[in-house]
Amino acid sequence: MTDAIGLYIHIPFCRKKCPYCDFFSGKATEADYDAYLAVLKSRITSWANKTNRPVATIYFGGGTPSILGTKRLVGLLSHIRQCFRLYDHAEVTLEVNPESGKWLDFKELSAYGFNRVSVGMQSAVPKELESLGRIHTAEEAKQTVTLAQKAGIENISLDLMIGIPYQTKESLKASIAFCASCDVKHISAYLLKIEEGTPFFYQRGLLPIADEDEQADLYLYAVQELEASGYLQYEISNFAQKGFESRHNTAYWKCREYIGIGPSAHSFFEGKRFFYSRNLTEFQNNILIQDGSGGDEEEYIMLSLRLNRGLVFSEFEQRFHHPIADSFMKQAEQFAKAGYMVADKNHVAFTPKGYLISNTILSRLL
């Protein structure tokens, strides 16, 4: 295969663990960062030795990659460049925490090829930030965005959460307006999901959060407000000004291949899905867990339907050499009549209302 791939690099460190977070991340020392980077670089080298495929996008996620500081991040990207063949205009995203503007040198990061920044702000409302255990202010997020913009990084995303403690339509509107006032090009807006094992899971009965219906209302309201502010929905939880959709994440939803490196990172490569476990020692020991083959029709349909462009029939036919089943179309038309989907002779897609019950609909369609 000669198709381009994506690279996901997981940095499993945070200054403080947030009580709702289920990502594989935790506190560590500077010495731990260096020890991890040494292992990570050797894994990157061995993956690069396995393929000649060019890299179209790189995503440094976590955890909090910005915790590593400019010098280590530049070193890591340089190492990737030495190992892999990067497209000239590869999209290179760095997740940063809102207060990272204080220690990151965005000019240097930009000079070395980081060209997209994603800032995990979550809310612009102090009481909501406090309830999420966040250790930054919205103003710090704005300062970080401004510093990145001044360094010439135009493609910036802010993360928001929907359905968090104390949130109302008014406070959500204020958070969206705050993001728009930062002049960012992209906003991710995720519904809070309370994951088993997190502190939020044990406190869930006591948390002042919206019930399921109210959460659905908040989500639909967010879609409307974001679109009115110029951020067009292109995926269940992602909104962008035209031309600023995340290329890396879109490739996941288009069922393209990628290699994920780091504990908890998943891959889809050479037709197979596999992942590293949520365990640093196992990553150090290079233990990969196989997860079967990927990219079959069912998976392709499910991933395509996460995108607003939906499932495009001509693309499906090109990939699988037969048209979409009549039974699928008949069911989709029923959901379209009820306002959960849009369907025409070229494509089928969820409406925002449909996204809210997409799992139920998919179980009927597939």
State the residues that interact with ligand SF4 by CB under 6 A. 14, 17-18, 21, 23, 25, 62-64, 97, 120
Judged by beta carbon, residue 63 or residue 101, the one nearer ligand SF4 is 63
Residue 325 DSSP class:
P
Distance (Å, whole) CA 305 – CA 238: 13
Report, in Å, the least distance between residue 16 CB and ligand SF4.
Answer: 7
Judged by beta carbon, residue 21 or residue 342, the one nearer ligand SF4 is 21
CA trace torsion 197, 200, 204, 208 (10° rounding): -170
Report, in Å, the least distance between residue 33 CB and ligand SF4.
Answer: 14
Report, in Å, the least distance between residue 20 CB and ligand SF4.
Answer: 7
Judged by beta carbon, residue 62 or residue 260, the one nearer ligand SF4 is 62
What lies within 8 Å, CB to CB, of 298 at 6+ separation is 366
CB 288 within 8 A of CB 299: no
Report, in Å, the least distance between residue 95 CB and ligand SF4.
Answer: 8
Distance (Å, whole) CA 341 – CA 364: 13
DSSP 3-state of 153: coil
Judged by beta carbon, residue 120 or residue 165, the one nearer ligand SF4 is 120
Report, in Å, the least distance between residue 97 CB and ligand SF4.
Answer: 6
Report, in Å, the least distance between residue 21 CB and ligand SF4.
Answer: 3
Residue 218 DSSP class:
H
Judged by beta carbon, residue 99 or residue 245, the one nearer ligand SF4 is 99
The secondary structure element, H or E, covering residue 275 is strand 272-276
Judged by beta carbon, residue 97 or residue 215, the one nearer ligand SF4 is 97
What lies within 8 Å, CB to CB, of 67 at 6+ separation is 11, 13, 14, 15, 33, 97, 100
